[in-house]
Structure 1
Amino acid sequence: MTWAPFAAALALFYATHALPTRPVMRARLRDSLGPRGFTLAYSALSLFMLALVIHAAGQAPWVQLWPQMEWMRHLTLLGMLAACLLVALAIGRPNPFSFGGPSGGFDPARPGIVRVTRHPLLWAMALWAGLHLMVNGDVAHAVLFGGFALFAVAGTWAIDRRRARQGPGWQVTLDAMRAHPPRPADWRAAILRIAGGVALWLMLIAAHPALIGVSPLP
């Protein structure tokens, strides 16, 4: 076993995530695929690359940094529920502040999860990465999940700067949103999304042994 396949998979992962976020390329892709098509294509590519790089990390040489403790597995399970809820409440929702979903139709008076965090999907990624960094104490997974966590945190900062450069409209919408509590646009839809987040969490627990080869249960 060598480090080369893991390094190549990691570089390819970051390239496929960084290039579509560039304004010119993103605009061209959205024009050719449409907003929904762009989101679906980007999501499919992200999932494929994520599976590839996780598999490559599992094949890399094993060098332990810290042992896994029982409490780490309990905390990871609980934290992953929060990450799944963030994804369920944010996916496909209008969000003029972050990358990905449509921005049209956003109501600052009923911002939902966007009032809690402007970047719920990046927060979910940072939470997922941080939890898995904690519970996987070897060099390859530390590089993998530590990089994901830094990527997500840096992404929130980079997107905020990019949105601010687009003009004062960003700040006006942000100030309008901050004047309201995080009420959802539709309470019934929000409840269904929460149920979907719990279902996603349970599905990931059930599928983890087959997909990753390790049970997440303590």
Structure 2
Amino acid sequence: MGWIEFGLAMMLFMASHRIPSALGVKDSLIERLGSRGYTALFSIASTLLLLWVIWAAGRAPFVPLWDQTPAARWAVNLVMPVVIALSAFGVGAPNPFAFEGRSTGFDPDHPGIAGVTRQPLLWALALWSLAHLWANGDLAHVILFGTFAGFSLLGMKLVERRRARMMGHDWDRLSAQTALVPFAAMFTGKWRPQSGPSLVRLTIAVIAWAAVFHLHEWVIGVMPNP
């Protein structure tokens, strides 16, 4: 039963990110709830499904593949602040390149988070998955985090391709000071940050990190200390 629940949870999570768009449900909900309302609803549903997937992986039969090491636990703790910062600065920010961003208010001369990376949330998911993959070497969690890592890395290509097609000739102008790989635009001289980070989003990131760290044992069942 453990494997059946885990498989069902994984399928529903993946389907929730594809079926609404394919069946036109997404457009219908946006029309009724507005863009922000839909984003809030989708975020809540995705979070609940993600928690179910993680809990189901923990209840699946334990099949060890490799042992956890102190280095792996340190890696998770060092990566998670970056993951949460990318999420906090990416969701709802002016960023027409990412599905979690806003198409309005974007200034190509001051790209904000898009100057760091055009796909902050997908990079957050990839880093979260890869760090936890290293730290959890049993079969169920390898399937879980390996799938999410592949999903996020492949998703970057698909989202970039779709947005480039939608923007057409405007893509080169709008993306001139951005890059897909984090900080690549800054290292190549295409972009220089001209102001500090949003204090509101920075505060949200710090609070979110503290909440995730302190609630991890209660929600997931494992203390995240190295």
> Normalization by structure 1: what TM-score?
0.91
CA shift at 1:70, angstroms? 1.0
Name the aligned partner's letter for residue 171 of structure 1. Answer: D
CA distance in 2, matches of 1:154, 1:207: 30
Identity of aligned residues (%): 42
What do residues 179-199 of structure 1 show as CA deviations (whole Å, max 9, x unaligned)?
542445xx4x61332232122
Cα distance change on mapping 1:53 and 1:109 into 2, 3 Å: same
Is 1:216 paired with 2:224? yes
CA shift at 1:25, angstroms? 4.3
Q: Partner residue of 2:176?
A: 175
Name the aligned partner's letter for residue 140 of structure 1. Answer: A
User: How many residues of Structure 1 are paired with residues of Structure 2 in the alignment?
Assistant: 215
Q: Partner residue of 2:51?
A: 51
Q: Decide whether the 8 Å contact of 2:93 with 2:113 is kept in 1.
A: no
Q: Decide whether the 8 Å contact of 1:39 with 1:101 is kept in 2.
A: no
Match of 1:99, SS?
coil
Name the aligned partner's letter for residue 90 of structure 1. Answer: G
Cα distance change on mapping 1:112 and 1:32 into 2, 3 Å: same
Q: Partner residue of 1:102?
A: 102
CA shift at 1:41, angstroms? 0.9
What do residues 29-85 of structure 1 show as CA deviations (whole Å, max 9, x unaligned)?
322221101110110111011011111101101000100011211111010011111
Cα distance change on mapping 1:113 and 1:85 into 2, 3 Å: same
> Normalization by structure 2: what TM-score?
0.88
| Structure 2, gaps ≥5 residues long | 179-184
Match of 1:38, SS?
helix
CA distance in 1, matches of 2:209, 2:140: 25
Q: Partner residue of 1:154?
A: 154
Q: Partner residue of 1:8?
A: 8
CA distance in 1, matches of 2:135, 2:194: 34
